[in-house]
Amino acid sequence: MRGQSLTSAEASGESTSSVSFLDNSDNQLLQGLGSALKWPEKQLGFSFFSRWIPNKPEHGRWYLNLSYQLLDSLRAGIDYRPLTTDVSILANWRVFSENVDSWRPAMILGTSNDDFGDISSQSYYATLSKYLFEAMGTNVSLYGGATYIDKLGDLRPVGGLHLRRDAWSATFMYSGVDEHLTIAHDFGNHTLSFLLFDLNLPGIAYGFRF
C-alpha cells in the first residue's frame, strides 16, 4: 500500500506481541506454534507478498512479489503475475521520515505494477504520510499524494486512512481509479489480510517478513 509510514508489523514492533497469546499458553504445542510464527527472529530484510482475488481478470487474479530492504530508506524487488507470466519491478524510497514531535510527514517515492479498474499498469507515485493520533487504543495514520499511471497516461490523486490496534489493522484507500478496503492481522512475521477490491471484489492476501 503505497505511501504509508506506520502500517506493517515490522514498522510498529507488533511481531512479538501479535503471538503473545500463544507464548503465554500452557500448551507446549501452541507455544511451539508461536515460536515458529516469529521465525526468523533476526530477519534478513526480505518480504514476500501474495494476493488472490478470484473474480478479477487473469492479470489481477493472482499476484506475487518479493522485495529486499537494500537500505533503511530503500526497498526494491520484483512483481510476478503467474497466470499471465508478467514480471515488473517495484521500489520505494523514503526520502525523509516523519517527525513524531511535529506535523512533518514522511515522504515516499516509488514505482510498482498495480491494478486500476480492469487494467494492469506500472505506476510512479509520490506520497506524504503521517501518524495523526491515538483514540481508544487505535493508532490513526493518513497518507495522500499522486500517481502517474503509465497505461492511462494520466496523473491521479491517491490517498488512504490507516488504523492499527495491536495486531489488527485496517486501511481504506483510493488508488487513483478505485477504492479498496483491507483488514489484516499479524501473526509474528506473517500477515493475513482480507481484501475488498473496488469495494466489490473479495480476496485474501498473505505476507511474510524474513
pLDDT at position 34: 77
Q: What are the boundaries of each domain within the chain?
A: 9-209
Domain 9-209 has CATH 2.40.160.40: yes
Instruction: Give the residue among 48, 40, 21 at the shortest CA–CA distance from 206.
Output: 48
pLDDT at position 12: 41
**CA distance between the termini of the chain:** 19
What does the pLDDT average to over 70-84? 97
pTM for the whole thing? Answer: 0.86
Give kind and range of the element (H or E) at residue 159.
Answer: strand 154-165
Using an 8 Å Cβ cutoff, are 121 and 114 in contact? yes
| pLDDT tens-digit readout, 24-64 | 888 888 878 878 888 898 889 999 999 999 999 999 999 99
| pLDDT tens-digit readout, 138-187 | 999 999 999 999 999 999 999 999 999 999 999 999 999 999 999 999 99
β-pairing, 154-165 with 168-174? antiparallel
pLDDT at position 15: 52
